[in-house]
């Protein structure tokens, strides 16, 4: 199995590193893609070197897309290649996990209409305006889409994402 994390500068450090390491621990190959091939810096100063650019990503090679929290969601949503990758994952029914502000990328991809979603409270009105049903819960799973409120809910996120992937493996 392979997972793809889309990231840009300003990611919320825990919401990138925790899923990255937890997925690796479960035996899943994880790659980080960013708009450019430069070292990314998180909100708290942690740095990540991407494996590839988003432009080079072939969604068919992955089983899961992870979008971390932080201002990187805003940076990703203005990059058409990131919007295209997210849209492809959603349209193809592939597993997508968005944490906190990561849902902003899915809004730009036009992928939340009619979906049940949680997110950072700061963007709940945006999620509703995109046609989603907002839930103030740690984690919400709606078919192939898993959303998480934020860093405080990462333990529940990890359990849910691994359950989701176990269904894909069958």
What pLDDT was estimated at residue 168?
Answer: 81
pLDDT digits (tens, 9 = 90+) for 57-98: 999 999 999 999 999 999 999 999 999 999 999 999 999 999
- pLDDT band per the 50, 70, 90 thresholds, residue 170: low
Torsions phi, psi for 6 (to 5 deg): -90, 130
Does residue 122 register a pLDDT over 80? yes
- pLDDT band per the 50, 70, 90 thresholds, residue 8: very high
The total number of structural domains that make up the chain:
1
Kindly list the strands in the beta sheet with 52-53, ordered across the sheet, starting from the edge strand earlier in the chain: 52-53, 29-34, 2-6, 64-67, 95-99, 145-148, 139-142
Please state whether beta strands 64-67 and 2-6 pair in parallel, antiparallel, or not at all (unpaired): parallel
CATH of the domain at 54: 3.40.50.880
Range of the domain at 113: 2-169
What does pTM read for this prediction? 0.97
Which residues form the catalytic set?
101
């Amino acid at each position: 199995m392979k997972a793809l994390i889309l990231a840009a500068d300003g990611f919320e450090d825990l919401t990138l590193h925790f899923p990255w390491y937890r997925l690796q621990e479960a035996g899943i190959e994880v790659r980080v893609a960013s708009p450019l091939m430069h070292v990314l810096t998180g909100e708290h100063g942690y740095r990540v070197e991407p494996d590839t650019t988003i432009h080079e990503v072939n969604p068919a090679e992955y089983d899961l897309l992870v979008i971390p929290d932080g201002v990187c969601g805003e940076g990703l949503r203005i990059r058409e290649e990131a919007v295209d990758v997210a849209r492809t994952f959603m349209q193809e029914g592939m597993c997508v996990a968005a944490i906190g502000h990561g849902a902003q990328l899915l809004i730009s991809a036009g992928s939340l209409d009619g979906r049940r979603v949680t997110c950072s409270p700061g963007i709940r009105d945006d999620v509703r305006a995109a046609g989603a049903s907002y839930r103030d819960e740690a984690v919400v799973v709606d078919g192939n889409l898993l959303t998480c409120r934020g860093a405080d809910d990462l333990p529940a996120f990890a359990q849910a994402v691994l359950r989701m992937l176990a269904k894909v493996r069958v």
